[in-house]
Chain A
Amino acid sequence: MDSSVFFGISTVAYILAMITYITYIAFKKHGVGVAATTITITGFVCQTLAILLRWKEFYDISQMGILRSVPITNLYESLIFFVWCLILGYLVVEFKYKNRSFGAFVTPVAGLALAFIDISGMSKEIQPLVPALQSNWLLVHVIMSFISYATFALSFSTAMMYLIVTTERKTEASYIFWSVMLGIFVIVLGALGLDFLKFKVAGMKPEALIKSYLFKATFFSDSSIVSILSYIAAFVLLFVIWRYGYILKRIIETFNISASTLDEITYKSIAIGFPIFTLGGLIFGAIWADQAWGVYWSWDPKETWSLITWFVYAFYLHARLLRGWRGHKISVVAVLGFVAVIFTYLGVNLLLSGLHAYGGLE
């Protein structure tokens, strides 16, 4: 069997787990919870196997030694690895805090990330490494970056939950902030889905999809009617999420997690992620660039966005520890930190590449 079979199983498992976790939250049946955990672990084991198999396949093709064949060198593989770290992190939290309710928030992220791989039509081919990527620094750089991204993803979900459960009025700035944030996530994913449908049906070449067709089915459509309708639909969606957001709050309140625990998890995951990101993301990245190109820092968009991310989390730490920011203010910073992470990871390749000449999904 090859790796794609196991990747398929794990994607299905995470989506099933998502449904089961949501059912568990709705009915609070212990058996359902156990089932959800079991499915997640099954998915995790399959994904681990798949990664190992792909490693072996890559090794056979590249003939460059085990370490140079770790499958985390393109967008596809790195997303898979991100999901793997996220699920691992989640399972640790589930066992440590003996609470399954986060599952309903984490497994959708995993499922969506894997679905995004299909939607974007990014290349799944095993590609041998171009010379610049043949560096051991790159390996530790990528692995550590992703571990830190996963901890930041965790802090993002707990910070969002904190905001959702602690806001009371719809006119509160924090309420508007989280509902708009959530709305944008939903809208972007929905628009990507429509792009996918439109161009999959029209039979476009998948590699070209995101680069030249991002939001072409909706906001940037050639037909101005479609584009105006898309904006209207987006605003309606935002409004609905804002109007009925209290339903989410009710759901999270049934989790029996105190707001202060959420806040503590947010802080702790950032406190773990920050040093790993500094060392792996910034320092090892700089050393690699220095070895490969002779400049350790060149202000290219990817580097600059890593630096922005770093400053946002430095902001978080100092505001919290020294200025005593607590509650909504500090959670908003944690959410923005993860927005910077997403931009560092995907935005630079996908959005800025539409503006500039350099590549994205190859």
Chain B
Amino acid sequence: MAKSKDKNIIDRIWDFLASVKLAIIVFSLIALTSIIGTILEQQASPEKNIQVISKLFGESLAPTLYRIFDALGFMDMYHSWWFVTLLMLFAANLLVCSIDRFPSIWKLVKEPIKPLKEEHFKAIPIKREITLKGKTEKVKETVGSVLRSEGFKYSEASDPGGHQFYWEKGRYSRLGVYITHFSILVILVGALIGIFFGFKGFLNLPEGESFGVAFTKTGELTPAEISERRIIFNALEISGGDVSMAARKLGVEESHLTARMKKLGMMPLGFSIRCDDFDVSFYGRSDMPKEYSSLLTVIDNGKEVLKKRIEVNDPLRYKGITFYQSSYGIMPDSSSFLFIFRTTSKTGVSETLRVRQGEKFLIPGTNIEATVTDWSPALSFDKDGRAFTYSEMMNNPGAQLEINENGKTYKKWILERYPVTWRLQNGHIVELVDIWGAQYTGLQVRRDPGVWIVYLGCATMSVGLFIAFFMSHRRLWVRVTTEKGNTKVMVAASANKNREAFERKIDKMVALLKEGGK
């Protein structure tokens, strides 16, 4: 007794999860609730959303509403328990529904078409019946040739009552829907793998430096934690990114170090990565950026193993970790910058020089002495010819030189992008090539072992959708029987897609039969 009751409950749950009604309800719930997350900014500061809420519902209600919405998880709703539950319900629905229906579809797909019993002709969606004069044998021949001319490669069967032609195409297209549904599950599995076994982090890598970790947290660290992070970071740098070596250096257990790093939002890469150069190119003379790029070198076990210049749509991959160009910025301390000049004297002697700010240097081939006294990431001149910095980005870097020529001293700005500023008073040329070490490249760092599963799911889903919508399973039966001296031809046909088109084709064929039968 008790057992069958149990079974009933399980059956009922199964039926509930297999029902298309549930699918329709879940579709609308996901669609409707998702809207909330597009209106309230997700994972944003409370002030921002209180502002949004007061724009929509008025100032007075905003704080209360914010508290209610926050309790409901609206401020990070795509990760809230109820939204995740909805997604899981969706996946369960899809899975159970597919399992539930699969056997009958598989039977249909596995079993080739068979001759149709005469009494079943009535139950087929498209049916025609004509009576032709003449011998059954002759009509059979006509039917055969018309079918062939219409492109139906039929099979034949005879039974005591009559003769039958039958044909089908696209039986396997019935699987398209299942491929589609199954792919959605594959995509979800891939996404879960990414969430559980991958990480997302960032790395602000100064030109010339190499890091062995990526960071997964920005704010929310106490000053003590920040200094701890600094110590671990340095230990890792000395050990070339090797965590166990760093643990030995710090005198702690490796497991302890790993746990601390996790807490501090540090993700060891297992190798280190160095930025050799960061560069922005612009459209012509404008400040419209054309491309950001970083020359990166991967150092594994002390050896340089990979070098690549990455761009915004062209990341670097090594050992399952991908580095994307995502932002850039300027280092606060200019004492370590290298100013790179190319000088050409009047006599044509050309040389490249690397100097630091404040360092005296001699322009080759001359007795002119120069010192870098100031610099700017983006220099422009106002109406009165005074220099000013118009942007915090390296849009048009410039270096100010103090030049000492035969006891005469003057200052001069040299701009990387304006050749007119390169010429000194007596005709020598000093070109600013780059201010190296001034910028850091902002890299997005990700490991996602599930991404290929997601892509695989996307690919099979596309195939599945194409089959589901653009291919159909078409069947045709033509039965020829003798009836009162005449010959009766019964036609039955079905198509699971675009029936009208198939019906037109059948009607054309029937018309040809009538003609041929005259």
Residues of A at under 8 Å CB distance from B?
62, 127-128, 130-132, 134-135, 264, 271-272, 274-275, 278-279, 283, 286-287, 290-297, 299, 301, 304-305, 307-308, 311-312, 314-315, 318-319, 322-323, 340, 348, 352, 355-357
For residue A142, give the distance in angstroms from its CB to the closest CB of chain B: 15
Q: List 7 A-B contacts (CB under 8 A).
A: A62-B283, A131-B325, A275-B470, A295-B446, A315-B31, A355-B52, A356-B52
Q: Which of A264, A286, A301, A315 contacts B24 (CB 8 A)?
A: A315
Tell me whether A134 and B451 are in contact (CB under 8 A).
no
Bound: A109/B96 CA distance, A? 43
- B78 interface residue, CB < 8 Å from A? yes
- B390 interface residue, CB < 8 Å from A? no
Bound: A200/B500 CA distance, A? 53
Query: Within 8 Å CB of B300, what residues of A?
Result: none
Bound: A235/B200 CA distance, A? 50
Most chain B beta carbons < 10 A, residue from A62, A128, A264, A357: A128
Tell me whether B52 and A318 are in contact (CB under 8 A).
no
Tell me whether B469 and A312 are in contact (CB under 8 A).
no
- B311 interface residue, CB < 8 Å from A? yes
With A305-B38, A312-B31, A322-B20 known as contacts, the answer to whether A297 contacts B191 (CB < 8 A) is yes
Bound: A134/B325 CA distance, A? 13
Q: Which of A134, A279, A286, A299 contacts B462 (CB 8 A)?
A: A279
Q: Which residue of B lies closest to A319 (CB)?
A: B24
Query: Within 8 Å CB of A323, what residues of B?
Result: 20-21, 24
- B465 interface residue, CB < 8 Å from A? yes
CB interface residues, B 1-43, toward A, < 8 Å: 20-21, 23-24, 27-28, 30-31, 34-35, 37-39, 41-42
Q: Which of A134, A299, A305, A322 contacts B313 (CB 8 A)?
A: A134
CB interface residues, B 274-293, toward A, < 8 Å: 283, 288-292
Bound: A132/B311 CA distance, A? 9
Bound: A301/B312 CA distance, A? 22
Query: Within 8 Å CB of B290, what residues of A?
Result: 128, 131
Tell me whether A131 and B458 are in contact (CB under 8 A).
no
Query: Within 8 Å CB of B191, what residues of A?
Result: 297
Tell me whether A131 and B34 are in contact (CB under 8 A).
no
- B339 interface residue, CB < 8 Å from A? no
Tell me whether A296 and B451 are in contact (CB under 8 A).
yes
- B216 interface residue, CB < 8 Å from A? no
Tell me whether A131 and B23 are in contact (CB under 8 A).
no
For residue A267, give the distance in angstroms from its CB to the closest CB of chain B: 11
Query: Within 8 Å CB of B288, what residues of A?
Result: 127-128, 130
Q: Which of A293, A308, A315, A348 contacts B444 (CB 8 A)?
A: A293
Q: Which residue of B lies closest to A302 (CB)?
A: B38
Tell me whether A135 and B469 are in contact (CB under 8 A).
no
- B454 interface residue, CB < 8 Å from A? yes
Which 10 residue pairs of A and B lie closest in terms of their CB atoms, listed nearest first? A131-B312, A301-B38, A275-B465, A294-B324, A311-B31, A315-B27, A294-B444, A322-B20, A135-B313, A283-B458
The majority secondary structure among interface residues of chain A is helix
Tell me whether B469 and A131 are in contact (CB under 8 A).
no
Q: Which of A127, A128, A264, A314 contacts B27 (CB 8 A)?
A: A314
Q: Which residue of B lies closest to A284 (CB)?
A: B458
CB interface residues, B 432-481, toward A, < 8 Å: 444-446, 451, 454-455, 458, 461-462, 465-466, 468-470
Tell me whether A304 and B34 are in contact (CB under 8 A).
yes
Tell me whether A131 and B289 are in contact (CB under 8 A).
yes
With A318-B20, A323-B24 known as contacts, the answer to whether A304 contacts B37 (CB < 8 A) is yes
Tell me whether B289 and A293 are in contact (CB under 8 A).
no
Tell me whether B326 and A294 are in contact (CB under 8 A).
yes
Query: Within 8 Å CB of B30, what residues of A?
Result: 307-308, 311
- B55 interface residue, CB < 8 Å from A? yes
Q: Which of B311, B462, B468 contacts A131 (CB 8 A)?
A: B311
Bound: A286/B448 CA distance, A? 14
For residue B462, give the distance in angstroms from its CB to the closest CB of chain A: 5
Query: Within 8 Å CB of A352, what residues of B?
Result: 38-39
Query: Within 8 Å CB of A299, what residues of B?
Result: 37, 42, 78
Query: Within 8 Å CB of A314, what residues of B?
Result: 27
For residue A61, give the distance in angstroms from its CB to the closest CB of chain B: 8
Interface size on B, residues (CB 8 A): 52
Bound: A266/B289 CA distance, A? 44
Bound: A295/B451 CA distance, A? 9
Tell me whether A355 and B451 are in contact (CB under 8 A).
no
For residue B314, give the distance in angstroms from its CB to the closest CB of chain A: 8
Query: Within 8 Å CB of B462, what residues of A?
Result: 275, 278-279, 283
Q: Which of A132, A286, A304 contacts B38 (CB 8 A)?
A: A304
For residue B23, give the distance in angstroms from its CB to the closest CB of chain A: 6
- B322 interface residue, CB < 8 Å from A? yes
Bound: A299/B83 CA distance, A? 13
Query: Within 8 Å CB of B465, what residues of A?
Result: 274-275, 278-279
Tell me whether B446 and A294 are in contact (CB under 8 A).
yes
- B63 interface residue, CB < 8 Å from A? no
Q: Which of A131, A283, A355 contacts B39 (CB 8 A)?
A: A355
Q: Which residue of B lies closest to A301 (CB)?
A: B38
Q: Which residue of A lies closest to B280 (CB)?
A: A131
Bound: A62/B290 CA distance, A? 9
Query: Within 8 Å CB of B292, what residues of A?
Result: 131
Query: Within 8 Å CB of B20, what residues of A?
Result: 318, 322-323
Query: Within 8 Å CB of A307, what residues of B?
Result: 30-31, 34
Bound: A17/B492 CA distance, A? 46
Q: Which residue of A lies closest to B500 (CB)?
A: A264
For residue A201, give the distance in angstroms from its CB to the closest CB of chain B: 27
- B364 interface residue, CB < 8 Å from A? no
Tell me whether A275 and B466 are in contact (CB under 8 A).
yes
Contact with A along B392-410 (1 / 0, CB 8 A): 0000000000000000000
Bound: A272/B468 CA distance, A? 11
With A131-B311, A135-B313 known as contacts, the answer to whether A356 contacts B34 (CB < 8 A) is no
Query: Within 8 Å CB of A279, what residues of B?
Result: 462, 465
With A275-B465, A308-B34, A318-B24 known as contacts, the answer to whether A293 contacts B42 (CB < 8 A) is no
Query: Within 8 Å CB of A291, what residues of B?
Result: 313-315
For residue A362, give the distance in angstroms from its CB to the closest CB of chain B: 12
With A131-B289, A132-B312, A283-B461 known as contacts, the answer to whether A274 contacts B469 (CB < 8 A) is yes
For residue A308, give the distance in angstroms from its CB to the closest CB of chain B: 5
Contact with A along B301-319 (1 / 0, CB 8 A): 0000000000111110000
Tell me whether A318 and B27 are in contact (CB under 8 A).
yes
Q: Which residue of B lies closest to A270 (CB)?
A: B469
Bound: A304/B451 CA distance, A? 19
Tell me whether B313 and A131 are in contact (CB under 8 A).
yes
For residue B354, give the distance in angstroms from its CB to the closest CB of chain A: 29
Bound: A229/B293 CA distance, A? 55
Q: Which residue of A lies closest to B326 (CB)?
A: A293
Query: Within 8 Å CB of A340, what residues of B?
Result: 31
Q: A278-B461, A323-B24 are in contact. List 5 more A-B contacts (CB 8 A).
A: A274-B465, A275-B468, A307-B30, A307-B31, A319-B24
For residue B459, give the distance in angstroms from its CB to the closest CB of chain A: 8
Query: Within 8 Å CB of B311, what residues of A?
Result: 131
Bound: A115/B444 CA distance, A? 41
Bound: A301/B42 CA distance, A? 10
For residue A144, give the distance in angstroms from its CB to the closest CB of chain B: 11
Q: Which residue of B lies closest to A321 (CB)?
A: B20
Tell me whether A308 and B31 are in contact (CB under 8 A).
yes
Tell me whether B52 and A290 are in contact (CB under 8 A).
no
Tell me whether B312 and A292 are in contact (CB under 8 A).
yes
